[in-house]
Structures are given as C-alpha cells and as structure tokens.
Structure 1
Amino acid sequence: MQQIGKSQLALLIILFLVGSTPLFELGIKAKQDAWLAMSVAAVAGMLLLAVYVKLQKRAPHVGIADLYKFHFGRYIGGAFTVLTSIWLAYESMRNVRDFGELTTMALLGFTPKWIIMLLILLVSAYTASKGIEVFVRVVQLLFPIVVISYAALIMLVFFSGLVKASRLLPVMENGPMPIVRAVFPDLISFPFGQTIVLLVFLSLVKEKDAVGRVSYKSLAIVSLFLVAMNALVMCVLGPELSELTSLPLLQVVQLVRLANFLERLDIIVTLLLYIGLFVKITTLYIASLFTASAVTGISHRNLVFPIGVLIYAMSFLEPNNTYHIWIGLDITLKVVPLFIVVLPLAMLAVGIRKKYRAEAAGGNGRQQAEN
C-alpha cells in the first residue's frame, strides 16, 4: 500500500490549494473588499476542513469511497462514489482547459490548444501512473521553486513603488452583503472547499495522529498567503482594473520597473502558472483514479488511460473560453457544494451514532473508529 509522510501531506495541501489561485483576483464581486471576502471564505474553509478531518478520524484507514458506503449503504454510497470520481475528473479537465486557454492567451498565441492540453495531460498521466508516493516527491521538489518565485515577485512589487494601500479603501463601502455574495458559493467552492480531495489521501498518511494538526496548519498558511496576495494585487491595480484583467498578477508583474533595468518578469508568472496547474491537474486526476478504483476494484494504474481519455475528451465540450468561464462560474460553482458541503454534512449527521467497521464499508481489517 502506498503511503506518504505528514510533511509531504503538508506540502501537497499547500501547493494544491495555492495552484494558480494567486494569478486571479478572486472575490472581485466585493470590489476593494475582495481580501475580506477571501478572509471570510478561509474561515468557512477551516470549518469544512474540520468536518472532513472528523469524518476521516472515524475510519483512519479508508478513503472517501468507503466512507460513502458506510454512511449511505452499499448502493447509494457506491453511486455517490461514481459521481465523485466523475466530478474529480471534471475538475481536472477544467484545469487542463485553463492551462490551454491561459497558455494560448499569454504565451503561445499560434499554438493549437489541443496540443498544449495534450502535453500537460500526458505529463500528468505519466505522474499519476507512478502513484501518489512519486507525485508527492515531485511536489517536494517544486515547493522551493514556488516559494522563492513568489517571494521574489512580492519583493519586486514592493520595491517598485506600485503598492498603494489607499486602493483598499473604503472598507465595506456597500455593507457586508457584497462580501457574502462573493463568498457563497464562489469562494467556498474554489479554492477552499477543494480540501474535500484530502478525504482521498488522508488514509495514506503514515502518522495518523498528526493528520488533523498538519491539515489545519497547512490550510492556515495557504489562507494567509492567498489573502495577502489578493490584497497586494488590489493595492496595485485597484478594483476596476482588477475586474477587467484576465490575469491580474501578470498585469502587476508587467508594471514592475526597477532602475530601468529589471523588467519583463512574465517568465516567473509563467513558471508559477505551469507548476500550479500541473499540481492541480495531477492531484485531481489521481483522486479520480483512486476513487474509481475503490468502486470498480480495478487497479488505479489500469484506469490511467480511460480516465485520461475522458478528461481530454471533456476538455473539448466547451467551444470557447467565454463559454468555459460561464460554465465554471454560473453552473459548476452551483453544483460543487453538493460534494463539498451537503454530502460531508450528511455523513457527519448520519454517522453520529454509528460505529465504523471496515467490513461495513466494504474494506478490510478490524474496527477502525468509534464516536
């Protein structure tokens, strides 16, 4: 059985949730209060994570598929497992499409999107075929690059004199409702609610007692970073320009000029874009493989090709980027709460008086946990 360490779990959580998120100005519906919306969403995300950790503690040695079966029964739980696997593949597809669209928009304007998307998916498929242990080692190698790159960008933006804190004012000019509308369901669904993916991987952590502590600390670090980056972009561009720009962070970096010498730092943003989307695509891909494997009994390695084909085929369902964004914001974000909020809370309620046994969920081994 594949296993990962607690430090590897921490890095996986951080890089997965960061992904390409800082490149965008999330919560822009709240205008200059976008950073406040991110803060509220982070608190809500921490509450959701508490639910996921509680569910995992009931059965530390099994994943989300067996949790579904235990709480909802063999057939209903199996149906939810199939739906979750398809949803995870769909989320991976959205990131594949984002990779193609953003690369075409910002870098390779004359390269066909199908080639770009095929290449990133092939890299992810190869990584997924090697298993979670190999993938988290790749994450460990990428983590220092991401940290150094973001640290360099932040310092350069500050030294260039572009930051104007006055652009965050007035605070809550139109009251709390714009913040609430930005948080629910948008920011809950992305990025903080995506911690639901951890229910696929937490059972693989060697140090079971450290799972909760590591998860909370990692989410806290990510939350602080994302709120800070959100506020930084707003301090540079202001609410109007942030709302109109497809890649606000890229726009910020393009404004950096130091000593008439240091400029055109797009390569750093490009590097972060590629790393973030690769980690996001592969994590969701592997999660879909493991979930499908649990419900079908087929090895996850044997599912790499069919699910990869499914992801690639789905990436062509949306005819253009405008339609892709509309589907993501107006439809997908309305469905995602079923997986990240409704089903976990239903499991939490159903399992209050239930005693977990591995055989009850279709797993193996002795009784794992009891409320």
Structure 2
Amino acid sequence: MQRIGKSQLSIMIIVFLIGSTPLFELGLKARQDAWIAMAMAAVVGLLLTVIYIKLQKRAPEAGLAELCRMHFGKWLGGTVALVYTVWFSYESMRNVRDVGELTRMALLTVTPKWIIMLLILFVAAYTVSKGLEVFARIVQLLFPIVLVSYLFIILLLFIAKLPEIDRLLPIMENGMGPITKAAFPDLVSFPFGQTVVFLVYWKHLKEKRELGKTTFKSQAGVSAFLIFMNMLVMSVLGPALSEVTSLPLLQAVQLIRLANFLERLDVIVTLLLFIGLYVKMTALYLAAVLTLKEVTGAAYRHFVWPVGLVVYAASFLEPNNTYHLWLGLDVTLKIVPLFQIVFPLLMLVAGVRKRYKRAASP
C-alpha cells in the first residue's frame, strides 16, 4: 500500500480545498455579506470533518468502500461505494469542463475546447496511473507556487489601494435570511463539504495518530484564507460588479496599475486557475479509481484509463457553459449533501448501534 506523510496530507487538503474557489465570488446571494455566509459554511464544514474523522478512526486502515461495507453490509455498502465512484467521476468531469470553458474565456479564445480538455485530462490520467505517492509529491511541488502567487496578488491589491472597506457595509443589511440561504446548502457543499473525498486517502497516512490534528488544522487554516479572499475581492469590486463578472478575482487583478509599469497580471490568475482545477480534478479522478478498485478487488491499473475516458466523454454532455453552470450551481449542489452529510451520518449512527449490540450481547 502506498503511504503519504502528514505534511503531504496537509498540503493536499489545503490545495484541494483552495482549488479554483478564490477565483469566484461565492455566496453572492448575501451580496456584501458573502464572507459571513462563507464563515458559517466553514464552521459546518469543520463539523462535518469531525464526523469523517470519527468514521475513519473506527477502522484506520479502511478506505471509503471498506467503511461503506463495514457499516451497511457487503451488498448495500458496495452499492453505496459505487455511487460514490460515480459522484467522484462526475465532479472530476465538472472540473475538466471548467478548464475548457475558463481557458477559452480568459486565455486561448480560439483554441477548441476538446483539445484543451483532452490535454488536461491526459496529464491527470498520467498522474493517476502513477499512484497516490506521486500525486502527493506533485501537489507539494505546486504548493509554493500557489502560496507565492496569492501572496503576490494580495500585496499588489493593497499597494494599489484597491480594497475599500465601505464596500462590505452595511453588515447584515437584510438580516440573516439571505446569509443563511447563501451558506446552506451551496457553500457547505462547495467547497467545504468536499473534504469527504479524504475518506479515500486517510488510510494511506503513515502517522495515523496525527490524522485528526493535521486535517483539522489544515482545513481551519484554508477556511480562514477563503473567507479573507472573499472579503478582499468584495472590497475591491463591490457586490454589483461581482455579480456580473465571470471571474471576479481576474477582474480585480486587471484593475492593478502601478507606476504605469506593473499591470496585465492575468497570467498569475490563469496559472492559479490551472493548478487549482488540475489538483481538484486529479484528486477526484484518483478517488474514483481507488474506490472502484476496493469495490471490485481488481487491479488498480485496469480502471485508470477507462474512468478517464468516461470522464472525458461526459464532459461533452452539457451543451454550453450556461447549462454547465446551471447544472452545477442550481442542481448538483442540492444533491451532493447526500454524499457529504446523509451517508456519513448514517454510517456514524450504524456504527454506534453495532457497538451497542456487541456490548449488550452476553
């Protein structure tokens, strides 16, 4: 079995949750209070992670499929694990399509989408074929680039004096209603609830005793960062402009003008876009392959390219970007709580009941 260290796990969680999230302004239903909605969703996301960690600690060497079978039985648990495989593949497909749409929108405006998506998926498939250890090392190599790029953007935005705190006021102008609607279930589902994918990876951690501490600290830190970035972009653009901009962070960076010299920093945002989507796409793709391997017991290598072909083919089912966004934001986010909340809670309850039965038996 391949193993990863706690620092690798921490970096994987950070880069995975960041993904492409800061490029968008999430929670816009709450307008200037979007950051409050993000904070509420982050707290719920941490509570969900506590549930996931409790499940993992019941069987530290079990993956998601094994946990499903342990709690639901062989056949029902195997079916639930297969449903998770379909969901992981679907979410990976959405990131493939995002790469195609956003690259054409922001960078390669005349390049066919199918070529862009084929290239990024081929890179992801090659990474998956090499296994978790290689993927973890790649994320380690990409992490400093992500860190420095975001710090550079934040620094330049403040040097250019673009953020204005007045754009975040008044706080809770319309009460808690819009904030709550923005946070639940949308912001809980994306990005915070996606931590459930690490039920596939935690069994590969070398230092099992550090699992809870490492995961919780990493998720808390990245949650604070995402809330801050939400506030920063909103303080630059304001709610009105944020609502009509496809990539708010890109729009904010395009406003940077320093000494008639430093401008047109779109390349940094594009780099972050590619890294974030690549890491998230590959992590979900790898999770689908590993879960399928656990369910069937067949060799890992048999599923890498078939799953990749399904993901690539499925990325063309949505006729246009408008439909793609509608399906993702208005439909998918209402369904994924089944995987992030319902199934884990059922496993938690089933496990408590089983322990109670064992304790009560003579």
- TM-score, reference length from structure 2: 0.97
Query: Take 1:43 and 1:220, find their aligned partners in 2: how far apart are those partners?
Result: 9
* 1:136 equivalent in structure 2: 136
Post-superposition offset of 1:190 = 0.2
* 2:256 equivalent in structure 1: 256
Give identity over the alignment, percent: 64
Query: Take 1:307 and 1:4, find their aligned partners in 2: how far apart are those partners?
Result: 24
Query: Take 2:253 and 2:330, find their aligned partners in 1: how far apart are those partners?
Result: 29
* 2:163 equivalent in structure 1: 163
Query: Take 2:17 and 2:113, find their aligned partners in 1: how far apart are those partners?
Result: 25
Letter in 2 for 1:182: A
* 2:4 equivalent in structure 1: 4
Query: Residues 237-272 of structure 1: CA distance to partner in whole angstroms, max 9, x if unpaired?
Result: 000100110000000000000011100000100110
* 1:246 equivalent in structure 2: 246
* 1:178 equivalent in structure 2: 178
* 1:234 equivalent in structure 2: 234
Letter in 2 for 1:240: A
Post-superposition offset of 1:297 = 1.2
Query: Take 1:191 and 1:301, find their aligned partners in 2: how far apart are those partners?
Result: 29
* 1:359 equivalent in structure 2: none
Q: Does 1:30 align with 2:23?
A: no
Letter in 2 for 1:63: G
* 2:71 equivalent in structure 1: 71
SS at match of 1:60: coil
Letter in 2 for 1:90: Y
Post-superposition offset of 1:355 = 4.7
* 2:269 equivalent in structure 1: 269
SS at match of 1:128: helix
Post-superposition offset of 1:333 = 0.8
Letter in 1 for 2:70: F
Alignment of 1:171-320 (within 5 A): 171-320=171-320
Post-superposition offset of 1:301 = 1.9
Query: Residues 68-111 of structure 1: CA distance to partner in whole angstroms, max 9, x if unpaired?
Result: 10111111101101100010000000000000000001111111
- TM-score, reference length from structure 1: 0.95
Query: Take 1:29 and 1:299, find their aligned partners in 2: how far apart are those partners?
Result: 46
Letter in 2 for 1:61: E
Letter in 2 for 1:309: L
Query: Take 2:146 and 2:74, find their aligned partners in 1: how far apart are those partners?
Result: 42
Structure 1 residue runs without a partner (length 5+)? 357-371
SS at match of 1:246: coil
Query: Take 2:246 and 2:213, find their aligned partners in 1: how far apart are those partners?
Result: 36
Query: Take 2:99 and 2:284, find their aligned partners in 1: how far apart are those partners?
Result: 14
Query: Take 2:301 and 2:281, find their aligned partners in 1: how far apart are those partners?
Result: 17
* 1:104 equivalent in structure 2: 104
Q: Which runs of 4+ in 1 moved over 3 A?
A: none
* 1:60 equivalent in structure 2: 60
Letter in 1 for 2:5: G
Query: Residues 163-220 of structure 1: CA distance to partner in whole angstroms, max 9, x if unpaired?
Result: 1001000000000011110011100110000000010000100000000000000001
Query: Take 1:187 and 1:202, find their aligned partners in 2: how far apart are those partners?
Result: 24
* 2:359 equivalent in structure 1: none
* 1:366 equivalent in structure 2: none
SS at match of 1:354: helix
* 1:148 equivalent in structure 2: 148
Aligned residues: 356
SS at match of 2:35: helix
Post-superposition offset of 1:296 = 1.1
SS at match of 1:280: helix
Query: Take 1:138 and 1:4, find their aligned partners in 2: how far apart are those partners?
Result: 12
SS at match of 2:201: helix
Post-superposition offset of 1:300 = 2.0
Query: Take 1:18 and 1:169, find their aligned partners in 2: how far apart are those partners?
Result: 26
Query: Take 1:301 and 1:46, find their aligned partners in 2: how far apart are those partners?
Result: 34
* 2:115 equivalent in structure 1: 115
Letter in 1 for 2:73: G
Post-superposition offset of 1:353 = 3.5
Query: Take 1:204 and 1:322, find their aligned partners in 2: how far apart are those partners?
Result: 39
Structure 2 residue runs without a partner (length 5+)? 357-362
Post-superposition offset of 1:354 = 2.4
Q: Does 1:340 align with 2:340?
A: yes
Query: Residues 217-242 of structure 1: CA distance to partner in whole angstroms, max 9, x if unpaired?
Result: 00011101000000000000000100
Query: Take 1:151 and 1:314, find their aligned partners in 2: how far apart are those partners?
Result: 36
Query: Take 1:269 and 1:355, find their aligned partners in 2: how far apart are those partners?
Result: 50
Query: Take 1:355 and 1:41, find their aligned partners in 2: how far apart are those partners?
Result: 31
Post-superposition offset of 1:304 = 0.6
Of 291-300 and 242-251, deviating more is 291-300
SS at match of 2:200: helix
